[in-house]
Amino acid sequence: MSPIIVNREEKTRLIARVALKLFSQKGYQATSVSRIAEGADIGKGTIYEYFATKEEIFLAAIREWSAQQWRRIAGKTEGIEDPVRQFYVVAETMAEICDPEDLETMRLIYEVMQQTLVKNGVLFNKRHLVKEMLVESRQMVVDILLDGISKGLFRPEIAKDAEKIAVNFLAFLDGIGLHSLVSENYLNLKEQMDFYLHHLLRMILKKPFLDEYILNDPKIKSGKSGISPFNL
């Protein structure tokens, strides 16, 4: 009988995916290494051949979740040539991710916040690693901005501030998403994102394209966006 060849990378990702599911369902404290090992169909001792601590497993699970979400966004923007539409797709997908009805995702976001921001949290002293996970998402937005400049849609002078704009854009999406989660039905997440995007476009679009992308937007003409074209 031929020996079973274990692909270490695949096994590591399997453990991370199983852990991600459990952390989403039960939280960090209530999830044991034994339960993760059981879910991955391996012995508890074997799991330590891949991860030294439960904290490392948690970090790997967060990386897996982050990668899943950005693959999802990348998949939805693939094939879209219009940089403006790409911005909307990123925002729309982020709104879907922050769906308050998705209790497992809500639990995971809460756990990440708690373990990162609280002084005794397992990620408090590893925030630089969490920061590294944001690099890919920031670069995606920078690429959209630079693509818009190269296509003549966006003002060329914003190139020097592309990374700042990307950070601002993502920080808004994160912040308004979190605010939506904790305030239940207090605000309409999609409307808030549309509001922000319209103002962002006013800042980055070349003037000839303002009419095409903003004044002719049906949401503005219907009054649903809360933005008056007379204020542009």
Residue carrying structure tokens 């995702």: 105
Phi and psi at residue 183, to the nearest 5°: -105, 10
**81 part of a folded domain:** yes
Q: In the numeric block, which tokens belong to residue 33?
A: 């290494």
Could you tell me the end-to-end alpha-carbon distance of the chain, in angstroms, rounded to an integer?
Answer: 73
**40 part of a folded domain:** no
Gap between the Cα atoms of 114 and 116, Å rounded: 5
Spatial contact of 224 and 192, defined as CB atoms under 8 Å apart = no
Residue 87 exposure: Cα atoms within 13 Å on the Cβ side: 26
Residue 6 is predicted with a pLDDT of 61
Residue 12 is predicted with a pLDDT of 92
Bridge partner list, 154: 205
**154 part of a folded domain:** yes
Domain count for the chain, please give it.
1
Residue 34 exposure: Cα atoms within 13 Å on the Cβ side: 1
Gap between the Cα atoms of 224 and 232, Å rounded: 16
**29 part of a folded domain:** no
**132 part of a folded domain:** yes
Residue 20 is predicted with a pLDDT of 92
CATH number, domain at 185? 1.10.357.10
Q: In the numeric block, which tokens belong to residue 97?
A: 């991710």
Residue 225 is predicted with a pLDDT of 39
Which bin fits 152, alpha (ψ -120 to 50), beta or left (φ > 0)? left
**157 part of a folded domain:** yes
This prediction has a pTM of: 0.77
Q: What is the pLDDT along the chain (232 residues), one digit of tens a residue?
A: 444 446 888 899 999 999 999 999 888 899 999 999 999 999 999 999 999 999 999 999 998 988 888 889 889 998 999 999 998 898 888 878 877 677 788 788 878 888 888 888 888 888 787 777 778 888 989 999 999 999 999 999 999 999 999 999 988 888 887 777 777 666 777 788 888 888 899 999 998 787 777 655 544 333 343 333 223 3
**108 part of a folded domain:** yes
Residue carrying structure tokens 């920061």: 131
Q: Domain residues for 138?
A: 59-231
Residue 231 is predicted with a pLDDT of 35
Spatial contact of 108 and 65, defined as CB atoms under 8 Å apart = yes
**32 part of a folded domain:** no
Where would I find the H helices in the chain? 8-26, 33-39, 44-47, 54-77, 83-97, 103-117, 127-150, 162-182, 189-204, 210, 218-221
Bridge partner list, 205: 154
Residues 41-65 pLDDT 10s: 999 999 999 999 999 999 999 989 8
Residue 108 is predicted with a pLDDT of 83
